[in-house]
Structure formats: C-alpha cells, structure tokens
Structure 1
Amino acid sequence: MASGVRRLGTLLRERLLDVLRLLDTVPAPRGRERTAAHRLRGWCADRWPHVAWQVLEHGPEGGSLIADHGAGPLLYSHLDTSLDRDGPGTPLVTGDTTPVGPLDVTGDRVTGFGLGVARGPVAAALVAFAEAGAGRLLLAGSGTHRRGDGITGLDAYTGSYPLPRSAIVAKCGPPTLLWHEPGALYLTVRVTGRSGAAMLAESATPPGGVIASAGVVLAELAHWRADYLAADPRTGQTGRACGIGAVSGGWPEKPDLLPARLRVDLYVVAGDPVEPKELAAGLADRLRARCARSALRDCAVEVEAEPVASAAATPADAPVVTAARTAWLDEFGAPPPPLTGWTGSTDGVVLRAHGVDTVRLGPQAGPAADDPRRDALSLTRLTAYARLYRRLLTESPA
C-alpha cells in the first residue's frame, strides 16, 4: 500500500473514532435527538468551519443534522439508536438492568452502545461528507421504525428541501449493495373476554382469565408465521420475516385482578406486495377459528394492521447503483456478492417513494462478546465504507 493511501486511512480512522467517542457521550433516543444534533453541529463546525452545518428541528424534541456541499447525491443515516441506553423499555428487551459500558477500542475492534443502529455508519457518513466537498448530508432524527405518528427527520427534510435524484443510505447490513428493500407493518392482536378476580377464577371469561390461555393464541400465531414465511416469493433481493415483539395483559401493580384482554404485537416484513388489511383479516379468521375450539371460545378476537412502509426498489442499472458497484469493486477487489431474501427495512423505502434512486451499503456489526447490548465493528471495514461514501458523493449523479 502506498504511503499516501496509508496516511489517508490513518487520518480517516482517527476522525471516525473522534466522532464515535462524541456520539457515545450524548444520548439520542428516538424523537429526542435535538440535544445530540446541536452538540454534533457545534463539534463539526469547529473542525470543518467551511461547511454550513445546521440542525433541522422537528416535533417537540426531535432534531437532525444537515449540511450541503452543493451538487451531488444525498448521504443519509440517522442519529437515533434502536434502543434507549437507559430507557424504560430497554431492560424488557435485553433482560439486563446493569449500566452499559462506554465505547472501547481494542486493536481493530470498536465496541459500544448503538454502533450498529446507527452510530458506526453515522460516523463514516459524517467524515466522508466532510472530506468529499460534494453532495448533501442528512443525519436524521427518528429514523428507526417505531410506533407513533410523530414527524420524522426525513419527513421534515423532504417537506423543507428539494430532493436530489439519488441517495446513499449509510446503514449496517449485509456485505453487499442493496437497491431493493422490503416493506414493513405492525399487527396488533387483541383477544378480549371478561375480567374477574384471582380469588374467584370462575368470575372471569374464560375461567382463570384470558392470559391463562395465551398459549392457544401464541401457538396459532406460530403456525400462521410458518405459513406466511413459506409463501415467500423471494422478490428481487428481498424476503419475508415475522416475529412477536410484545405480549401484554393485566395490571402488574394489582395481579389479584384477572384481565379481560390479551394483546400480542407482531412486526411483519414483506419484500413482495402485501395488503396489510387483508393480512390482518386472514389472521383474525384463523385465530377466531382456533379460539372457538378452546377455552377462549367466548372471547372476541381482533387484528389491526398498522403499515410502516411499502417495499420499493431502485432499478439495478440506475446510475447510483452502477457507481456503487464500480466503487465497491475498486475498494474490495471483487464485485458485490449477489443477495436474495434480505429482510431489513430502512428509510431507503421512503426515499424511493419520493422518486429518489437509492442504494444502501454499510459495515457489518455484531453483538459484543461481553455484552450483547453493545455492538462490535471492525475499524478497518468502517474506514473502507467511509472511503466508499466519499467516492459516491463525488462520482454519483446529483
């Protein structure tokens, strides 16, 4: 490797670590990223004063970092993390209430909270943009899928600024290029009987309360999930996925009351066109038929669909995809591997819905060996993606 290239790689690595260390000190829970966005803007303005860094505020506490170098594509990632570091829902997901440790760098490995979603790619995108001198940057607030109708950073941006013809989504993912991403939706299952008292089991419908028969519902959902996945037509690069993310019912502070309602929440991914209402109606019919043969026979069953985004694809020969293939080949010495069955949905689908040709690429993250709440990334690989993003900003169509 030439000494100039080696020095450039060292400089990028140092700047990436500077950004990662800063991000690790500022929480950015979804919808409350404003403090982190302003802190990051001030930090960037000190280091790259030739760039007009701005914070786009949205909602009560949301915020996105934006900047513009002029002609070129949009480089996109998001500031918020999938989990809140100390949020009330985090222990329910992780099963761990101990404090999460700080960022750690050991050799080529960096580990920390939120690196996979999405601080690793954010750092690479930020450094790449500052070095490129071309294109636009959007590090959006509220970029992770979450229930609620609050405005996202991408919504605020598309409502305030004209979009370019092409975009690069900087997110962790498979070791290849993505130009086709699946859509996603939430399904809410509610099974409702009659409440009662724990000391009088027969006072509830069904006797003992609806939660006592939750296994009937969960077993049927498992059968439905298997059928849903088996019907996957594997459209383009994408596939189907489905999982139960939450089960709830009753009042933890007063468990002597038997609840009338069981609620189950599912996350559903589809690369093929799926009509959410039809999917919900079909699942409701199955659950009603199964409950009718059980202690839940006198309970009402409802399934509600909440669309998140529809699957969307950029043509495989679009200029931004072609440019990304060429850059990938030059960086890694081989073409991007083919991919089918991908089930990760990001804001790339939103950009494509606005008519923006979009390609997604980013490093691969995994759980840290000592704490699965922390992600691990290769700094060498992260630096390579920073070089890719920088090149695409200068060589892709605006």
Structure 2
Amino acid sequence: MTPDAIDPDITKLSGWQREWVKAARAEVDEDELALLCQAATDIPSPTGCERELAEYFRDVMTSAGLDSRLQSIDERQANLVTRVGTGRAGAQLLLLAPLDTAFAPGREDAPWLGERPREDFTLPAQRFGDKVVGLGAENPKAFASCALAAALAVHRCGVPLDGQLVVALVGGSMPVLGSELSSRRNSGMNVGTQFLVDHGQCSADLAIVLKPGYSVVHEEVGFAIFRVVVRGSVGYTGSRHKGHYTNAILAAARMIGRLEDWFAEYTARNSSGQVAPQGAITAIRAGDGTKPAFNPATCEFWVDLRVNPRTAVNDVAGQFEAIVAELRAAEPAVGVEVELVAGQAGSATPADSPVVTRLIRAWEDVEGRPHVPGKPGSGLSDGGVLRRHGIPTARIGLPPPEVPSPFEGFSMGVADLPAMRRLVDLLIGVVVDVTTRQRAELRELPASSRGEDR
C-alpha cells in the first residue's frame, strides 16, 4: 500500500505516519483488551497496595517482549514503567495512568460504600456483554489496560520510533490521606508520580494522563482539604432540661447546611477556563454508638475545596476562613477550629502546547469531527505533579458508552469495551504523531500548522 492510497483525512499526518497508525490499530486484540481489564479488576489495588497489580501487568508486558520494570516504593506499593523504543533524538511521550482504587473491597470502606455495595464496587469482576463490572473496572483498570494495549500495538507492528513511548502505571494516585492497609500516611495524593519523577524514571517531553472525561483537558484543579472541629459540651439525654446544653453535633449540622449553600457561591467565584472548582463535606465524626445516651463534646467534619490553577491554595484558605468566621458568629456557644490538612495547587498547560494540539488531532481522527470541549471540570489527576516538574501535560479519558451504565450516580466500576477500543485507537494516533518526530521538530512546529503534513 502506498501513502497516496490512504484517505488523506485519516489523521492529517504524513503518508507514512498514516500507514503506521493504521498498522498499529490493526494489531489491537479486542479480546485481549477485555481479558486484560477483567483480570486487572480482579486484583485488589487500594491505595498503598498496588504492587500485586503492577507485577501482573509487568508479567504480561515482558511476556510480549517489552521492557517493563517494577519501581518499588515500599513492600506493598509500586509503580510500573514500560518502554517502547530506544530513540534518544526523538521525542519521549509519557502515557500515565493510576493503579490504585480509592476504595478497598470488604469491610474497611463500608462507611462509604455501604454494608451491601453495588456490583460496581465489589469483586470479583463480572462480564456482561461489552461491560466489565467491578471495583475500579473503569478507573483505573480500563485506563491502565488501554495505555498498555496501545504500547503493545505499536511494539507488535514495529513502528520505527525516533523517540520513545513510556507507559507509567503509578501507585498512590488517589486523594487518600491514609489507610489501615498501609503503614505510611503518605501513600496517596499522587505519591507514585512524585516518586517516578524524583527517581529518574521520567524525563518526558510531553505527557498524557488517562482519567475520566472524553475531551482534551489542559487545565486541572488542585485541592484544599480542611478539618473543622466544633466544640460544645458533653451531655446526657436525661438531664438536658436541667442545665447547660450545648450539642456540638447540632451546631456542626447547622454549619454544614450553611456551607452547602456557600459551595455554590465558591464555585461561581472561582470558575474560569476549563475548571469549575467544587466543594463538599466529605466526612463527619462525633461520639460513639456504644454510648447512645450521651452527646459528645466535639464534632469534626472535613471539607474538600477544589482549587483553580489561577488561585493559590492560601487564597482558598482565606475564602474558607471568611465563611467560618460567619459560622462562628452564628454559633457563639461553641468553639470552631479549622486546620488545613492537605493542599495542592491547580495546574495548567498552554492551549497551544504540542501535547494539546496533537491530542486534539488524534481525537478528531477517531471521532471524524471537530473536537468538542467538555464542561468545566473539578476532577483531580497526577497531571499537576508532571506540570510542576516542567512536563507539558494533557488529559483524556474514555468516550461515553453507546449503552449507558446500569448504575446511576457516581461509579468508577463499569468499563465499556467499545469505548476502550476507541481510546486505544486515539492513543495510537498520538503516539505515532509524537514519537516518530525529532525532538527539535516537535518543539519548533507551531500550533497554527496543526493538520499540515510534514
């Protein structure tokens, strides 16, 4: 087949690049992709305990002839780094996806999932036609499987890379402050990606992070997590009418109701560009059901505020302190203390960066239409870590499935196989586009030339 015989609109790349894209896509084994995702879902990988899953993926990749190595963080946590190509003059592209699920199967996370979780929050995984259902089947197991499937396809068809493709599957991605499953308090909050770049496993020119949302995202929120302590006085139901009664739980409930209204104000004040930072009450703790006749002296609750890339974490803390001052004034009988327990700044990559323009080009190739920007988002990824280390980063996820998930509301546990195949095709397009170029050529090509042959 000659380049002239290929539809010139297939990717708007050079003729030979179009051939390589088509050849690599032909190497994608959809049954293998489905089995990879289901087997990965079956391996529990809550934050801090990703090593077993990393070892499984390593064995699959090495058996296919790829250079795939474990990067140990501790005895239970690890990253996996898989490389295709050895070129040094060409560009290095990083595909990054998490390994960890936010929740653990079983009783540990019953406060979040309920005593009888839905099928999309349980294991083992189940296959229903084109759906893989189970804890983490979509996020992160489908994303990791798609990244590896793209690497396998490029490797198998022998695309002559000038540069290198690096697939990094990282532990500790989820916004988790601690777990009974890990002895370390810093097992989450992007620790795996930070470890990856700090220990010499990533010097990419461009990076793509795989997380939910099927539009090209180049701006992402950070977060500010606050612990609020409301102090009242210990009390007894039988004597509340006889003296001083200051119920910290009741005061905290009133504050939470006011904050829920304020979150909408916060979002309106801090939205711009591709982000609409949200806020939520995420946990509450007070007393103990073993003493049901006594109200406790304190009630604690946690607040998660997302942070615009153009807003400092300290500024967000100031906004929160201002609303807390109003809450204090409305509840003079109780004390209110606030602590910032975790925070990361938002981050952005310029819209005309090569990683953004090339990812959009690959999206348009797969979809056959102009790229459609998504709604302003408030989700987190490891992209902030990469951007802080000077790596231009964009984000993409799975397309919406033609057959919707059977579960309403929040779910990370339904992977749609046709959608996964489309994402793999997209990734193959951008991998060929980037890694078959010299590094200097990639940097010099202006965004205005997107769509031109070289």
TM-score range, shorter chain: 0.7 to 0.9
The equivalent of 1:75 in structure 2 is: 95
Taking structure 2 as the reference length, what is the TM-score of the superposition? 0.77
Question: Percent same amino acid at aligned positions?
Answer: 23
Give the letter aligned to residue 157 of structure 1.
Answer: L
Q: Aligned equivalents of 2:374 and 2:53: distance in 1?
A: 35
The equivalent of 2:58 in structure 1 is: 41
Alpha-carbon deviation of 1:81? 0.9
The alignment status of 1:255 with 2:255, answered yes or no, reads no
Alpha-carbon deviation of 1:288? 4.1
Q: Is the 8 A contact 2:399 2:423 kept in 1?
A: no
Structure 1 residues 107-148: Cα deviation after superposition (integer angstroms, max 9, x where no partner) = 433333212321111110011122223411110011111125
Segments of structure 1 that go 5 or more residues without pairing to the other structure are none
Segments of structure 2 that go 5 or more residues without pairing to the other structure are 1-5, 8-20, 156-163, 179-184, 440-454
Alignment of 1:169-208 (within 5 A): 169-173=209-213, 175-201=214-240, 207=245
SS at match of 1:283: helix
Work out the number of aligned pairs and report it. 389
The equivalent of 2:248 in structure 1 is: 210
The alignment status of 1:144 with 2:168, answered yes or no, reads no
Q: Aligned equivalents of 1:380 and 1:187: distance in 2?
A: 40
The equivalent of 1:297 in structure 2 is: 332
SS at match of 2:224: strand
Alpha-carbon deviation of 1:371? 8.2
Q: Aligned equivalents of 1:331 and 1:272: distance in 2?
A: 30
SS at match of 1:330: helix
Structure 1 residues 162-202: Cα deviation after superposition (integer angstroms, max 9, x where no partner) = 421111112221x2111111212212211112323444336
Give the letter aligned to residue 324 of structure 1.
Answer: L
Alpha-carbon deviation of 1:248? 1.6
The equivalent of 1:168 in structure 2 is: 208
Q: Aligned equivalents of 1:132 and 1:5: distance in 2?
A: 10
Q: Is the 8 A contact 1:328 1:336 kept in 2?
A: yes
Alignment of 1:1-398 (within 5 A): 11-46=28-63, 48=64, 50-69=65-84, 70-71=86-87, 72-89=92-109, 91-98=110-117, 100=122, 102-133=124-155, 134-148=164-178, 149-150=185-186, 152-161=191-200, 162-173=202-213, 175-201=214-240, 207=245, 209-234=247-272, 236-293=273-330, 296-364=331-399, 368-369=405-406, 375-396=413-434
Q: Aligned equivalents of 1:226 and 1:53: distance in 2?
A: 46
Q: Is the 8 A contact 2:131 2:414 kept in 1?
A: yes
Alpha-carbon deviation of 1:292? 3.6
Give the letter aligned to residue 381 of structure 1.
Answer: A
Give the letter aligned to residue 70 of structure 2.
Answer: V
Q: 1:329 to 1:114 in 2, by over 3 A?
A: same
Alpha-carbon deviation of 1:346? 0.7
Give the letter aligned to residue 207 of structure 2.
Answer: A
Taking structure 1 as the reference length, what is the TM-score of the superposition? 0.88
Alpha-carbon deviation of 1:376? 2.6
Q: Aligned equivalents of 1:87 and 1:274: distance in 2?
A: 38
Q: Aligned equivalents of 1:306 and 1:78: distance in 2?
A: 23
Give the letter aligned to residue 210 of structure 2.
Answer: A
Alpha-carbon deviation of 1:301? 0.9
Alpha-carbon deviation of 1:9? 5.7
SS at match of 2:406: coil
Q: Mean Cα displacement is larger for which, 253-262 or 180-189?
A: 253-262
Q: Aligned equivalents of 2:238 and 2:400: distance in 1?
A: 50
Q: Is the 8 A contact 2:230 2:252 kept in 1?
A: no
Alpha-carbon deviation of 1:221? 0.9
The equivalent of 2:3 in structure 1 is: none
SS at match of 2:270: coil
Alpha-carbon deviation of 1:101? 5.2
Q: Is the 8 A contact 1:247 1:264 kept in 2?
A: yes
